[in-house]
Structure 1
Amino acid sequence: MKRSDRLARLVRAAADNGIVVPAFNVFYMPLIKPICDALKAYDTFGMVEISRIELQKFEVPSITAAAEEYSKHADPRVTALHLDHIPVIDEDGYKVDWRPLIEEGIRAGYDSVMIDGSRLPFEENVAVTAEVVRMAHAQGVLVEAELGSVLGHESGPLPPYDELFESKAGFTDPEQAREFVQRTGVDWLSVSVGSVHGAIAGAAKDQQKVKARLDIERIRQLREATGVPLVLHGGSGISLEYVRAAIANGIAKINIATDIRQPYDRTLAEGGTIEDGQRVVFETISDIIQNRYNIVGSATRLEELITLG
């Protein structure tokens, strides 16, 4: 079985059976090791992911360098490497030369890539996403895209969260999502259903995230409309009852960034070593695997499901 076929089947099995695939963002190269170590230690299938934000605003030197470091620690049975959030227009409103970044990820051996055209008009998002699907699928690489607006990375302040949630502004429309998936052939869809990204600018990046809620009925409708595994960005800071309901209704992959970045930053700011920071990240991920998502052994379970299926 080709690696991309296996990954596609694993994530679909997760969506169909209420098992989540955690995807951990790497802001600093030393985070790769404890992420991989924790996934191996708990026989949990998850992803290591790097986005343009980590390249531009944190300490990941390049897409290729991250892939090389990942290869030193990864066990392909329990991990996959994902190129996250390559935007067409970035969080500061600037156009991005996205093609070389996607091409580098494909050349470097990433298992999947994400093109983010969510700040574009619908037709332009469709066109760009379809182009990336053609590029990536030709090389056996899966594609994630985004429809709707998951806020939080912007430099300005967010509107009050309750106001944002009640207005449903920017939430993904199920019928539009159906058309988007049909016209692009995308493998996974990142949806806006109430979560927010962690702040990455200035003092706000150290603040606790808002306690987000999720529109579970919308998730159910999106899953039914699209038929593809759904992705939740901004997975840190969501109330547990909503997280578990989301997983039960079609969210297959949840991105986690703030929950591991902030403890690492605090440890080093308090005089700890990189090794101390890595231990804290390992412990944090261990807690997420065991207590938040209850996915110890998910790697073996998912393999069994795709073998039977």
Structure 2
Amino acid sequence: MNTFEQLQKARKEHYAIGAFNAANIETLKAVVNSAVKLRSPVIIEASEGEADYIGKKQISSLVRIYKVEHNIPVILNLDHAASFDACKDAIEAGFDYVHIDGSKLPYEENLRITKEVATYAHQHNVMVEGEMDHIQGSSADHTNEDPGSYQKASQYTDPQKALDFVSQTGVDVFASFVGNLHGLYADEIHLKLDILEQIKKLLPDTYLSLHGGSGIVDDDVRKAIKMGIVKVNVNSEMRIAFKTALQKALNESDEVAIYKLTPPAIEAVQKVVEKKIMLFGSNDRHDLKNTAFLPIL
């Protein structure tokens, strides 16, 4: 089943595929373990920084090996790429999906670069996500901050403008700003579901992506999926879980063998991923053909 078919299945069956950032081999293992255990499709994604750290060809090869070895449906995505060249490099390295983020550019320039990426990607059967309005926040720890300070109504996605953006660029997936934020905050985040509903009505054939999946109220996530969200991004919770578990392991042990220190971090991240998979409803959507669950710690 290719990338398009996986998202089509998610939309038809009203679940979302979690898009989980893999910053290193440990977080990659945590996502794969979760996918196998819960028989779920997953999107493994890497930002430009993460992809450069691991290596685009290297992460592509690792994902391909895990897909074959564990018989799991995995989509590999370059997350929030800022340029055509970054997307081109990822496509040439074997990525299945690229997210071109020109939201900080003037609108006309965003249209131009996004269309350029979409044209090139489609020539290689690669799916493209576009972003029109910059989604606020970051994957840093914002737990002492009020999310309201980042949620400006004037910056929310205009549904009519979203229609223009998709029509002119030809993207397959659209990421909107409807109150969702990157990062974790002092309070849980509520979505502007009325705006999302309008976007869905105007873009019935476009797949919809929800960024900032770490801090949104669970019930709003479920409602968004019912409205047509097929992809939910998660990163901040994974990073915080990894750091907390690794710090604890380092503080409590004199061990110096790195591979003996990282399993608690892998397990902590896996717990986050499993919880999100269950929330998104993507568990038990894939027949592993009796593949045994063997954690790759």
Equivalent residue letter for 1:253: K
Instruction: Measure how far apart 1:107 and its partner are.
Output: 1.1
Contact 1:116 1:145 in 2 (8 A): yes
Q: Who is 2:77 aligned against? A: 82
Amino acid in structure 1 at the alignment position of 2:245? T
Residue of structure 2 in register with 1:29 after alignment: 25
Query: What residue in structure 2 maps to residue 109 of structure 1?
Result: 94
Decide whether the 8 Å contact of 2:51 with 2:78 is kept in 1.
no
The one of 189, 197, 206 equivalent to 1:212 is 189
- C-alpha change, 1:208 and 1:220, in structure 2 (3 Å) is closer
Whether 1:268 aligns to 2:246 is: yes
Whole-angstrom distance in 2 between the partners of 1:14 and 1:173: 25
Partner of 2:275: 287
Counterpart among 221, 225, 233 of residue 247 in structure 1: 225
Report the RMSD for the aligned CA atoms in angstroms. 2.3
Does residue 65 of structure 1 match 2:58?
A: yes
1:157-306 correspondence runs (5 A)? 160-162=146-148, 164-165=150-151, 167-198=152-183, 208=185, 210-227=187-204, 228-271=206-249, 273-290=261-278, 292-299=279-286
Q: What amino acid maps onto 1:239 in structure 2?
A: V
The residue identity in structure 1 corresponding to 2:148 is D
The one-letter amino acid of 1:9's match is E
Q: Report the Cα offset of residue 10 of structure 1.
A: 2.0
Structure 1 residue 295 displacement after superposition: 2.7
| Residue 115 of structure 2: aligned partner | 130
Paired residues of 1:118 and 1:146 also in contact (CA < 8 A): yes
3-state SS of 1:270 partner: helix
Mapped partners of 1:209, 1:10: distance in 2: 35
Q: What's the offset of the Cα at 1:70? A: 2.0
Per-residue deviation, 1:163:
5.1
Aligned to 1:74, the other structure's residue is in SS state: helix
* One-letter amino acid of the structure 1 residue matched with residue 163 of structure 2: R
Instruction: Give 5+ residue unaligned stretches, structure 1.
Output: 88-97, 199-206, 301-309
TM-score of the two chains, using structure 2 as the length reference: 0.84
Change in CA separation of 1:208 and 1:274 when aligned onto 2, cut-off 3 Å = farther
Pick aligned residue for 2:135 from 142, 147, 150 = 150
Rounded Cα–Cα distance in structure 2 between residues aligned with 1:284 and 1:154: 15
CA distance in 1: counterparts of 2:182 and 2:228, whole angstroms: 20
User: Secondary structure, in 3 states, of the residue corresponding to 2:54?
Assistant: coil
State the Cα distance separating 1:148 from its structure 2 match.
1.1
Number of corresponding residues: 272
Q: Secondary structure at the match of 2:171?
A: coil
8 Å contact 1:16–1:250 — kept in the other structure? no
Deviation at 1:196, TM superposition (A): 0.8
Identity among equivalent positions (%) equals 26
C-alpha distance in 2 between matches for 1:22 and 1:159: 25
Q: Secondary structure at 2:18's aligned position in 1?
A: strand
Q: Residue type of the partner of 2:121? A: A
Letter in 1 for 2:67: A
CA gap of 1:143–1:209, structure 2 versus 1, over 3 A, is farther
Partner of 2:255: none
2:180–2:210 Cα contact (<8 Å) kept: yes
What is the distance in 1 between the residues matched to 2:73 and 2:207? 19
Q: Name the amino acid aligned to 1:296.
A: N
How far apart are residue 55 of structure 1 and its match? 4.7
- Where structure 2 has 5 or more consecutive residues not aligned to the other structure, the ranges are 251-260, 288-297
Matched residues in 2 for 1:39 and 1:154: separation?
Answer: 23
| One-letter identity of the residue aligned with 1:193 | V
List structure 1 segments (4+ residues) > 6 angstroms apart after TM superposition.
none
Secondary structure, aligned partner of 1:39: helix
- Residue matched to 2:257: none
CA contact (8 A) 2:21 2:235 kept: yes
